[in-house]
A and B are shown apart, each in its own frame.
Chain A
Amino acid sequence: MNPYLPILFMLIIATAFAVGALSLAMFIGRPKGGNERKLAPYECGIEPVVGEVRERFPVKFYLVAMLFILFDIEVIFLYPWAVVFRQLQVFGLIEMGIFLAILLLGYMYVWRVGALEWQ
């Protein structure tokens, strides 16, 4: 049997539970009417201020996401290296040292230009 198959069982059970419970809740707790204020999105208990909700938000969040992708890929590269590290010994150390040094340079640059500041 494929060792990954039980994971699929787990996913199916979890999804079935989530969908089932939500459907049941939907069935039990049918809305009981009321005016449109009841369905208005919450904003301090008064009528929402006019304006689009999903408008532009600070570009900082994009920046963090991009930096994350860079660093996360770096971390993923480290995993196979870590598994075979005991065989590679000094060679592996130097190899990864060079790789990390290049990345560290980028990290220092990012820090210098203030991409890590959050105001």
Chain B
Amino acid sequence: MSNTTFDWIASLIKAVIIFVVLLQLVPVLIWLERKVVARMQQRIGPNRVGPFGLLQPLADAVKLMAKENIIPTGVDKLVYYLAPVISIVPALAAFAVVPFGEPIHVAGRVVYLQVAHVNIGILYVLALSSLAVYGITLAGWSSNNKYSLLGGLRASAQMISYEIPVGLTVVAVVLLAGSLDLLDIVNQQVKQGIWNIGPQFIGFLLFVVASNAELNRAPFDMAEAESELVAGFHTEYTGFRFAMFFMGEYVNMVTTSALATVMYLGGWHGFGPDVWYLNLIWFILKIFAFIIFYMWVRASWPRIRYDQLMGFGWKVMIPAALLNLAATAVVIVVAKERATLWLTAVNIALFVVFLAVLRLVNSRQLEQHRQVVPQPDAVRG
């Protein structure tokens, strides 16, 4: 077998495996989300179909498949059909460059544990995951529904706003690694002795918040605010077309979690022996930790107002991300070999200061609130 044939077969097999795993993760995640959120709200969650309600997503899939295929009057047909496809295809393709293990040797040849080993990996993931905005905007615009249009517009404005902080925090990681290759980023974290969550702690926090907004998840789910926009951009979508949007959303969630794992949590590295299947388990565990964290956030915070959302994005996230980048660059130049140590120290110090300021502001606001709102005693007096 020639090298080229081997490469072709290997990458085809990898592509199919990743595709199947990603697609199968969607029902698992839907079940997990419903169960986790239910438990956090003192409910039981799905428990009728199969053991622990595990077959619920399957039943839903069958139901969605068999739904009447209604096309509302006045929709822009081509765009209306295209939107769900546009929202799922880039989501699936974005995962192609995420490495989930050290390259292994099969029959004397190197096989990368990622579908495509390209040297601009991180740029590729960012580019494809930001294509998600097209699906949502086009769906909203083509639906011939006022709620959909508003939902689509809001979502597009929100997603492009939060893309800037995501991009800026990623630049800081690239600064440390000196490479856009995701494999290099993981290896560099091992080499520097501490995962990037240390020297990039603030960046990590910014990335988690901004990517949450980028994913359109609560508390940033303005695009589908049920209380104002019915269902937002997918109001007019039924059956499997509707399901496509959700698959896209969940696949994007997996990709973002994988990206965060690779950039900040040392990828597939963990404790114990360094064998590929253990590494894989570590990788999956870290991804699921992220996903459950996102679910936890969703269960904990109320949806925030749209002007607050945009204000927060442009006035807090972007300056903070820029500052983080500048600080990282300066420390790298000044501290040279000891940059990692200094960055970790500076980040933790900054985080403590941030918490203190937050506490101060909170208590100040509470004080003002007490002064403005008359206390029961004052009313009586």
Contacts and interface: CB of A to CB of B under 8 A. Distances in A.
Interface of A: 1, 3-7, 9-11, 13-15, 17-19, 21-22, 24-26, 28-32, 36, 38-43, 53-54, 57, 60-61, 64-65, 67-68, 71-72, 75-76, 78-79, 82-86, 89-90, 92-93, 96-97, 100, 104, 107, 111, 116-119
Given A22-B244, A42-B230, A60-B157, 6 more contacts: A14-B92, A15-B89, A29-B68, A61-B156, A79-B123, A97-B326
Contacts of B143: 41
Contact of A25 (B65, B97, B124, B236): B65
15 contacts: A7-B96, A14-B19, A15-B89, A19-B85, A21-B244, A22-B85, A42-B72, A53-B74, A64-B160, A78-B168, A92-B329, A93-B329, A93-B333, A116-B310, A118-B307
Interface in B95-144: 95-97, 115-119, 123-124, 141, 143-144
Nearest to A87: B178
B239 A39 contact: no
Contacts of B168: 75, 78
Interface in B200-236: 230, 235-236
Interface stretch (B47-55, B256-264, B314-322, B348-356): B314-322
A6 B15 contact: yes
Interface residues of B, number: 84
A15 to B, nearest CB: 5
A114 B68 CA distance: 48
A10 B332 contact: no
Contacts of A71: 164, 318
Interface of B: 4, 7-8, 11-12, 14-16, 18-19, 23, 64-74, 81, 84-85, 88-89, 92-93, 95-97, 115-119, 123-124, 141, 143-147, 149-150, 153, 156-157, 160-161, 163-164, 167-168, 171-172, 174-175, 178-180, 230, 235-236, 239-241, 244, 306-307, 310-311, 314-315, 318, 322, 325-326, 329-330, 332-333
Given A54-B149, A68-B160, A1 B11 contact: yes
A54 B143 CA distance: 10
A38 to B, nearest CB: 7
Q: Which of A26, A28, A75 has the most CB of B within 10 A?
A: A75
Nearest to A44: B230
B68 A83 contact: no
Secondary structure of the B side of the interface? helix
Nearest to A9: B15
B161 A64 contact: yes
B65 A24 contact: yes
B342 to A, nearest CB: 15
Given A18-B89, A42-B230, A10 B307 contact: no
A118 to B, nearest CB: 4
A72 B126 CA distance: 12
Contacts of B239: 25, 29
A16 B180 CA distance: 30
B236 A72 contact: no
A72 B315 CA distance: 16
